[in-house]
Amino acid sequence: MEKFVTHVGTALPLRRSNVDTDQIIPAVYLKRVTRSGFEDGLFAAWRKDPEFILNKEEFKSASILVAGVDFGTGSSREHAVWALQNYGFKVIISSRFADIFRGNSAKGGLLTIIVPQKDVETLWSAVEANPALPITVNLDARTVSFGSTTIAFEIDDYTRWRLMEGLDDIGLTLKSLDSIDKFEKSRPSFKPTTKTLNH
């Protein structure tokens, strides 16, 4: 996983709430068995509309998505994160994310930032007025800044540290193999296994 410390880019204002993962990437695009190439499926249904914001020339190179409340609801498909990343997004900003989507994003190194809705509105207006506005996301300082505005955001220390170090969770956990071993020895014997029938 790539390390994330700061990112400077332009933003796409997506004035929609409840953007579910079926919209981010419809099910028909989930059939690939790799982690790449999902950019075609990103917002596939909405992109059919030439007026959809992602199709506007001035927003084509945006790398920061600013969305309405409850982004990423619905299906647990991590393909939603891959589609956003494959397309070129590095940061998603919203006033609330669905839990699974947020977890998936952190695993893949896509930074999700929660700010109050009024800051989302500020960002939307600023970007709509000037699509080329450079926006700086500083994970170290936990701030989003543009022009003379700086918005602070919160993120737990652990996730921040993992993203900044680009650390892979599995590698981290495997360091605790001893604890896992010990735990396994203490599991009650009535817990089922998939291999042996009990009757």
Partner 1 sequence: MGKTLAEKIWQEHVVRSAQGEPDLIYIDLHLIHEVTSPQAFDGLRLAGRPVHRPDLTIATEDHNTPTLNIDQPIADPVSKLQVDTLRKNCAEFGVRLHSLGDIDQGIVHVVGPQLGLTQPGMTIVCGDSHTSTHGAFGALAFGIGTSEVEHVLATQTLPLVRPKTMAINVEGILKPGVSSKDIILAIIAKIGTGGGQGYVLEYRGSAIRALSMESRMTVCNMSIEAGARAGLIAPDEKTFEYIKGKPHAPKNWDEAVSYWSTLFTDKDATFDAEININAEELAPFVTWGTNPGQGAPLNSNVPDPSAIADPEARGAAERALVYMDLKAGTPLKNIVIDTVFLGSCTNGRIEDLRVAADVLKGKKISKSLRMLVVPGSARVRLQAESEGLDKVFIDAGAEWRQAGCSMCLGMNPDQLAVGERSASTSNRNFEGRQGKGGRTHLVSPLVAAATAIRGTLSSPADL
| Closer Cβ to partner 1, 129 or 177, answer by number | 177
Q: How far is the CB of 165 from partner 1 (least distance, A)?
A: 14
CA distance 110 to 89: 8
| Closer Cβ to partner 1, 76 or 145, answer by number | 76
* Residues of this chain that bind partner 1 (CB under 8 A): 15-18, 20, 22-23, 26-28, 30-35, 45, 68-70, 73-79, 81, 96, 98-100, 103-104, 107-108, 117, 156-158, 169-170, 172-174, 176-177, 179-180, 183-184, 187-199
**Residue 8 neighbours by CB under 8 Å, 6+ apart:** 134, 135, 136, 137
Q: How far is the CB of 170 from partner 1 (least distance, A)?
A: 5
Tokens of 116: 């109050």
| Closer Cβ to partner 1, 154 or 157, answer by number | 157
Angle, vertex CA 63, rays to CA 60 and CA 64, nearest 5: 115
Helix (H), strand (E) at residue 14: strand 11-14
